[in-house]
Structure 1
């Protein structure tokens, strides 16, 4: 009798494990529903984010920052800029179309397309990097692995942002300082608590 009840318990456990396998989505969804707690209240998601329009105000600086719940990349422009598209996936250099993934680190790659040039009206570069060079320091960051310049062509500037894994992110625009503007990319450290 004892052997039979032990076998029944094992069969029920095995059935539960089999039901939770496959793509992993069911198991992940169940854990999320069971905990019900998002990481730091973050509800951003990892789908493509796009907004704004093309601007002629050039990019002047790229910097990064570490925060308690996310890592940040800030793109600063010499005037009002609002246009961007950010999504996970391969990133190509502007003009040539060469893949940037060989130059980046991390488990996932964010393709950042800014609708503003990295050169002024006289076509002189406004940023000090060449295509494929690292544009910001991310040493000891929890999520960011690198920020690589992909060039600027016909008013668009591209960056490949290497991150630890495919994680939630948000993008927004800030005015200032002064007449400048900033496009801000935040990438969460994790999905849930």
Structure 2
């Protein structure tokens, strides 16, 4: 005969009933009073902005000796007509001239190429611009490498050594060129000796007519070579 098993239940005593009531009360106290209310997300610190913004790219600026043309409008209005020959061009410096060549620029223009020698210091420079037989350095007569078929020499008067003027001289024997030039191949500053600063300008082909003139503030000697 199979015997069914059955669990026997006994009535709860008064002590047991009290324990159950106590457990129910504890459960009610543990309930979150804010349940059902909208929760506010915790505040976060703003990300630091210093150093995180992209630095804007600076616009390119013209550099020394790179064929800049900032002198053009002023030079074109002051330029004399081109002569019909290739004779020497001269001008006297002021009596208080103590200048140093601080920049050399070459630029291309329709009908001519331009060489600008900028000077700093006191007074105004003079010059002697002329074609010479060969590219040599004054006063040593040492040969100078210069591209081109003809040599136009620019001797600036009223100049002084950089340690006398306190100015930085443009790098010596550094060829200055510009894209598109057809008359001027390059210009080279050679240095200063006895109040004169020498520069050589290489010319493509035979000697060409040129004009030399002064621009003020800052002092600039401009030499335009006709194409």
Q: TM-score, normalised by structure 1?
A: 0.65
Counterpart of 1:68 (choices 77, 91, 110) is 110
Q: SS of 1:186's equivalent?
A: strand
Worse overlay, 89-98 or 159-168 = 89-98
Shift in Å, 1:80:
3.4
Shift in Å, 1:155:
1.6
Q: TM-score, normalised by structure 2?
A: 0.56
For 1:118 and 1:145, locate their aligned partners in 2 and report how far apart those are by CA, in whole Å: 27
Which of these two proteins has the greater Rg computed from alpha carbons? 2
Counterpart in 2 of 1:187? 225
Question: Whose helix proportion is higher, 1 or 2?
Answer: 1
Cα distance change, pair 94–118 in 1 and its aligned pair in 2 (3 A): farther
Shift in Å, 1:67:
1.0
Shift in Å, 1:97:
2.7
Counterpart of 2:127 (choices 72, 84, 90) is 84
Counterpart in 2 of 1:140? 180
Matches within 5 A, 1:43-122: 43-53=83-93, 55-78=97-120, 79-89=122-132, 90-100=134-144, 103-117=145-159, 119-122=161-164
Whose RCO is larger (CA < 8 A, sep 6+)? 1
Paired positions, count: 142
Q: Which runs of 5+ in 2 are unaligned?
A: 1-80
For 1:129 and 1:118, locate their aligned partners in 2 and report how far apart those are by CA, in whole Å: 15
Q: Which runs of 5+ in 1 are unaligned?
A: 1-40
For 1:86 and 1:108, locate their aligned partners in 2 and report how far apart those are by CA, in whole Å: 13
**Cα contact 2:100–2:169 (8 A) shared by 1:** no
The C-alpha deviation readout for 1:139-193, integer Å capped at 9, x for no partner, is 33111101112221122110110011210001011112xxx2111100000xxxx
Counterpart in 1 of 2:215? 174
Shift in Å, 1:93:
1.8
Note if 1:161 corresponds to 2:201: yes
Aligned alpha-carbon RMSD (Å): 2.2
Shift in Å, 1:125:
6.4
The C-alpha deviation readout for 1:18-53, integer Å capped at 9, x for no partner, is xxxxxxxxxxxxxxxxxxxxxxx7434211111112
Shift in Å, 1:64:
1.4
